[in-house]
Amino acid sequence: QVQLVESGGGLVQPGGSLRLSCTASGTVFDIGTMAWFRQAPGEERELVATIDSSDTADYSDSAMGRFIISRDNAKNALYLQMSSLKPEDTGVYYCNADIRDYHYWGKGTLVTVSS
């Protein structure tokens, strides 16, 4: 069993920054690609950024230049540093991990960007 737990969400003003964290626990080994998704109210879940086991990162157009995804394999952790936040970044952010060809999801952390 693997559990992913996100943290770091909250209320932030436009232009502000937040750092999200995700920690995997349980029987964790051979973590492959990890990713952040988000789901805005009334919208479908969308991919924000991915990072593979070689630390190669990829970003959605909306995240490029503002967000940085990183991971700490020793801690089974995933991070998302978000800056220059916009109201349209509001949503629940989910962590995803590919572990031995099975995709695990966390329960999400809410990010609200509002003045």
Instruction: Please say whether the beta carbons of 15 and 112 come within 8 A.
Output: no
User: Which residue in the block uniquely carries the two structure tokens 């060809």?
Assistant: 101
Please, what is the average pLDDT of the chain? 96
pLDDT in tens, 48-85: 999 999 999 999 999 999 999 999 999 999 999 999 99
Task: State how far the Cα of 66 lies from the Cα of 54, in Å rounded to an integer.
Answer: 21
* Spatial contact of 57 and 49, defined as CB atoms under 8 Å apart: yes
38 and 49 Cβ atoms separated by less than 8 Å: no
The answer to whether residues 67 and 51 touch, using CB atoms and an 8 Å cutoff, is no
What is the pLDDT, as a whole number, of residue 18? 98
**pLDDT surpassing 90 at residue 101:** no
